[in-house]
């Protein structure tokens, strides 16, 4: 009897700015492979890579699927057909597809994946990697999707979350999504903190649905497969979905900010953190964005905090001498702007003591003394007590040594929400009997 072999499938860049979605292609692939009797050995992976790459897909998310099969060649043929059929190449998609037929993925794939989280990896780098390591692949267009395809297969989880994505019927593509707002608010209230980033209470706005013409209806993100699938059932809609699929993902992990940015090179499109001392006081720019500079390793780094993050007020409170850590991505220089770090979070490590000179205080009367005139000292109007000079007073700061995150509506897919600080999901047991995929 023919033995089953393990096949890892990775693909990316099948969508365009206007249509399709790589996760929807995964949904279609899983449905087809289930009919072929494929034995899935884990949830599909949805891996978000460096969000500061300018030519990224909408969410910069790649997908990997791992399974056991007696007929890998047949599986490959089916997947190739579906990738070719559903990729929006006319809209600008540049799909990459890779197959890796071994039980365990080699460490070199993981190293490639780790780099793709925070730096720029070219499509030619990915193609050379595939050729050197004898990885079977297919690419259309310029093949930019090869980067994510290889990276998704090689991704090694140090923390993970889940997302149940619900998809629309084709007849509803492009139509307005009619989701009951109150049901989303109540769902979040009931399931928090097992789910995250579903509803923005301050803006009274749902965060679970995209706004484009892609096939995704809505997605619920959370800490466990059961949490996201059960929460998804609490959402009320006016259209019947086509089905759903649950992904294991690195969303909500701040995976892209584990790297410490090299300030000596300060390479464009790099993501990570910088720790330094405020060296130039914050200033408000046109559009109510805030810029400031920090000094580290004898380098001055210009930072920008943008209005939608809602932490511009925090940035404006920073003072020269404060020690902070910032996380974000390096924006390349242009004719009008120098190279700059686009800030995603501010962590205040130490506040520089701020002082001012004030009139002396009369301890007897519990009041400030009044000036007697230029160079004539100060006197308490009530008891007559005198003092020659002003005194130094410590100025109380509004900021505290803590982490300041953007408003939830400004979070990226990878942003670690406040309730996940200190949370690490390391164990994951896939149960094929769990309802992780269904077509209604």
pTM for the structure as a whole: 0.92
Residue 20 has pLDDT above 90, yes or no: no
Q: What is the mean pLDDT of residues 114-128?
A: 97
Q: What is the third-level CATH fold of 256-353+396-415? A: OB fold (Dihydrolipoamide Acetyltransferase, E2P) (2.40.50)
pLDDT above 80 for 287: yes
CA distance 271 to 341: 9
Higher pLDDT, 190 or 212: 190
Q: Is the pLDDT of residue 55 over 90?
A: no
252: left (phi over 0), alpha (psi -120 to 50) or beta: left
Per cent of the chain over pLDDT 90 is 88
Contact 62, 93 (CB under 8 A): no
When pLDDT is cut at 50, 70 and 90, the band that residue 274 belongs to is very high
pLDDT band at 212 (very low <50, low <70, confident <90, very high): confident
CATH architecture, range 161-253: Alpha-Beta Complex (3.90)
pLDDT of residue 106: 94
Which residues, at least 6 apart from 200, have a Cβ–Cβ distance to it below 8 Å?
206, 207, 407, 408, 409
Q: Which of 242-246, 318-322, 380-384 has the lowest mean pLDDT?
A: 380-384
The residue among 433 and 176 whose pLDDT is bigger is 176
pLDDT of residue 1: 59
* Rounded mean pLDDT, 140-149: 95
- 6, 68 Cβ separation under 8 angstroms: yes
- Residue 91 is predicted with a pLDDT of 87
Please, which pLDDT band fits residue 275 given cuts at 50, 70 and 90?
very high
Distance CA 15, CA 91 (A): 8
Percent of the chain at pLDDT above 70?
99
Rg (CA), the chain: 27
Q: Is the pLDDT of residue 18 over 80?
A: no
pLDDT score of 19 more than 80 = no
Question: Would the pLDDT of 237 be above 90?
Answer: yes
Return d(Cα 96, Cα 10) in angstroms, integer. 8
d(CA 354, CA 437): 58
Neighbours of 128 (CB within 10 A): 12
Does domain 5-156 bear CATH number 3.30.70.2200? yes
Q: Which pLDDT band holds residue 336 (cuts at 50, 70, 90)?
A: confident
Domain ranges of the chain: 5-156, 161-253, 256-353+396-415, 355-394
Do 154 and 105 form a contact (C-beta atoms < 8 A)? yes
CB contact at 8 A, 113 and 255? no
pLDDT of residue 268: 97
Task: Round the average pLDDT of the chain to a whole number and report it.
Answer: 95
């Amino acid at each position: 009897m023919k033995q089953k072999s393990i096949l890892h499938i990775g693909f990316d860049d099948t969508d365009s700015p206007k249509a399709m979605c790589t996760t929807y292609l995964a949904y279609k692939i899983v449905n087809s492979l289930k009919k072929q009797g494929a034995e899935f050995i884990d949830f599909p992976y949805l891996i978000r890579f460096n969000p500061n790459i300018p030519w990224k897909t909408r969410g910069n998310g790649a997908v990997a699927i791992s399974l056991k099969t007696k007929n890998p060649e047949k599986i490959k043929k089916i997947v190739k057909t579906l990738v070719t059929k559903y990729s929006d190449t006319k809209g600008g998609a540049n799909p990459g597809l890779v197959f890796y037929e071994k039980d365990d993925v080699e460490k070199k794939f993981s190293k490639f994946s780790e780099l793709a989280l925070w730096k720029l990896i070219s499509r030619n780098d990915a193609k050379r990697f595939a050729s050197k390591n004898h990885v079977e692949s297919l690419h259309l267009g310029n093949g930019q999707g090869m980067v994510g395809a290889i990276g998704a297969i090689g991704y090694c989880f140090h923390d993970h979350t889940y997302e149940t994505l619900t998809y629309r019927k084709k007849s509803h593509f492009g139509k307005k999504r009619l989701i009951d707002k109150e049901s989303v608010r109540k769902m979040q209230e009931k399931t928090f903190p097992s789910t995250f980033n579903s509803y923005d209470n301050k803006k009274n706005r749902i965060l679970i649905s995209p706004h484009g013409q892609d096939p995704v209806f809505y997605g619920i993100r959370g800490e466990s497969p059961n949490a996201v699938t059960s929460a998804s059932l609490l959402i009320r809609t006016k259209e019947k979905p086509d089905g759903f699929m649950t992904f294991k993902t690195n969303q909500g992990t701040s995976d892209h900010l584990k790297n410490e940015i090299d300030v000596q090179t300060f390479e464009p499109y790099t993501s990570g953190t910088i720790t330094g001392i405020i060296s130039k006081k914050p200033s408000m720019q046109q559009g109510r964005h805030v810029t400031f500079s920090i000094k580290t390793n004898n380098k001055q780094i210009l930072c920008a905090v943008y209005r939608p993050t809602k932490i511009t007020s925090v940035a404006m409170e920073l003072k020269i001498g404060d020690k902070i850590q910032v996380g974000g991505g390096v924006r390349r220089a242009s004719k009008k702007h120098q190279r700059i770090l686009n800030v995603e979070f501010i962590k205040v490590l130490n506040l520089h003591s701020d002082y001012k000179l004030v009139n002396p205080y009369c301890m007897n009367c519990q009041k400030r003394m009044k000036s007697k005139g230029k160079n004539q000292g100060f006197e308490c109007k009530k008891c007559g007590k005198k003092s020659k000079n002003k005194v130094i007073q410590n100025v109380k700061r509004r900021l505290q040594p803590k982490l300041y995150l953007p408003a939830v509506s400004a979070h990226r897919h990878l942003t670690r929400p406040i309730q996940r600080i200190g949370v690490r999901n390391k164990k994951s047991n896939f149960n094929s009997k769990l309802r992780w995929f269904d077509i209604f």
